[in-house]
Amino acid sequence: MVSIRHVLFSERDNLIELHPELLCQYPKFVTPYLADAIDYPADFPYVFYALEDGVVASYLNAFPDILFREKQQYRWAWNANLFTNPNFRGRGLAQKIIEHQLTEFAKRGFVWGGTFSSDPALRLYRKLGFKVVGAAARMCLLRNPAPFLRHHLSSRALVRFLSSTYWLGYRSAKLILFRQKSFKKNYSIEQIGFAALAKLLDEHPRQYGDRAHWSDDAALLRAKMNARNSDQIALVRDSSARPLLFFLWRVRDTAERPIKERYSGVSMFSVMEFGYLQAEASQDALIRAAIALFDETSADLLEIITSPPELENAARRHGFVALGSGMSFTFKAPKGHPLDHVKTAVADWDLTHYSGDGYSFE
C-alpha cells in the first residue's frame, strides 16, 4: 500500500515523530533548501514522498520564491530533485507525487515551476496540464577541442595537430572578427565580492525589461553562491567607470558528469547569472567580457544558458553555437489563477543557470 505524504516547513523540528522513515533514509534531503535566505511560509510543503512498506519509494522537494510579471507579484514554488527508487519505477509514483503537490500548492495559491527536466518528466508534465514553455538555449564557445577529439581519435599526434590548428583559428577570429582587443579600450573588468555586489544592486536595481523574473533579494543570491562554493563575481564598467553589468562565473571539470555521458575531462567555464545595472548596457559587452575572462583560464569550453533572444544573438555573432537541449522551463498555475491561461514564450522569462543549476548537458 502506497501513501503520498508531505512535510510542512513548520514540522522540520519534529521530523523524528512525524516522518521517521524519510528522516532515516534521506537525512540530508529533509533540510529545507536555502532556508537561511528564503522566507518559507510555515505551511509550505517542502518535501513530498511516496511511502510503501516503510520504504521511501519516490520523493520530490520544493522551495518558495516570488514571481514578478507585468508589474504583478505572485507566489511561486520551484521543484527540485524528483527521484524514484529503481525498484519502484514504472508504477506511476512520480505522477502521484506531482498530483498531490499540485493539490497542496493550489490550496495556497502557488504557481509551480521547474527547469532542467528530462524528456520523460516533460511528457509527464504535459500529461498533467503543465505549460511546457520551451528551453533556454545553451550557447557554447569552444577553445580547445582536444578532450572531444581524444574520445574519437587514438592518435595523440593527430589530436595535438587538430587542436593546434583549431586554436590558431579561434585566436584569429577573436582578434579580427570578435574585436576582443578593442574591448579592453572601452570597458574594464574587475572581480568583486558579495558585499560590493549587494551595494551595487541597491544603488542600481537590475534591469529586466519586459521579462518575468523572480526574487532579486541580495541575501538569496549570496546563499545560492555559498551553496555552490565556487562562483566568482565579475563587474564590467564602461570607459567612464560606470558599472554596466555583472555576472557570476565558475570553472568546473566534467569528470564526474561527462558531457553527453561520454566526453570527460572537459573544463567548463560557466556564466551562472548576470544582471544589467544600466538600461543601455549591451549584450555585446557581456559576451565579450565573458570571453575575456574565459581566455584568462585554462577552460576548454565557455557556456551561457539564457532566455533573452538578444543575448543569444549576440553570442552567435561572437562564434557561439547552441548545443544540447538547453534548459527546459515548465509551470502550472492553479485553476482560475491569472497565469492559468497566459500565452507565453521562453523569451518572456528571465532564465539563467541559477534558474536551475546547469549541471546536465543532454
Average pLDDT of the residues of the chain: 89
Q: What is the mean pLDDT of residues 48-59?
A: 94
pLDDT band at 226 (very low <50, low <70, confident <90, very high): confident
Q: Is the pLDDT of residue 216 over 90?
A: no
Instruction: Tell me the pLDDT tens digit for each residue of 73-83.
Output: 999 999 888 88
**pLDDT(359) > 60:** no
Percent of the chain, pLDDT > 90?
Answer: 63
Lowest mean pLDDT: which of 113-122, 158-167, 284-293, 329-338? 113-122
Cell of 13: 523540528
3-class SS string, 254-292: CCCCCECCCECCCEEEEEEEEEECCCCCCHHHHHHHHHH
User: Could you read off the pLDDT of 144-167 as tens digits, one per residue?
Assistant: 999 889 889 989 999 999 999 988
Average of pLDDT values for 237-258?
Answer: 88
Q: How confident is the model at residue 362 (pLDDT cuts 50, 70, 90)?
A: very low
What is residue 180's predicted lDDT score, i.e. its pLDDT?
61
In this structure, the dihedral spanned by the alpha carbons of residues 331, 245, 235 and 67, taken in order and rounded to 10 degrees, is: -30
How far is C-alpha 211 from the chain's CA centre? 16
- Cα–Cα–Cα angle for 149, 151, 156, rounded to 5 degrees: 60
- pLDDT tens, residue by residue, 4-39: 999 999 999 999 999 999 999 999 889 998 888 889
Predicted confidence band at 45 (pLDDT cuts at 50, 70, 90)? very high
CA 97-99-101 angle, to 5 degrees, is 70
- Cite the DSSP H helix spans in the chain: 15-18, 20-25, 93-108, 119-127, 146-152, 156-176, 180-186, 194-203, 218-228, 283-295, 309-317
Burial 184-223 (b: 16+ CB within 10 A, else e): eeebebeeeebeebeebbeebeeeeeebbbbbebbebbbb
Q: Which residue has the higher pLDDT, 173 or 207?
A: 207
Q: What is the pLDDT of residue 256?
A: 65
How far is Cα 179 from Cα 216, in angstroms, rounded to an integer? Answer: 33
pLDDT value for 112: 93
Range of lowest pLDDT (1-10, 236-245, 318-327)? 318-327
pLDDT in tens, 71-120: 899 999 998 888 899 999 989 999 999 999 999 999 999 999 998 888 88
Q: What is the pLDDT of residue 172?
A: 79
Overall average pLDDT of the 318-328 stretch: 87
**What is the predicted pLDDT for the residue at 254?**
76
Kindly tell me if the per-residue pLDDT of 357 is higher than 70: no
Which is higher by pLDDT, 202 or 226?
202
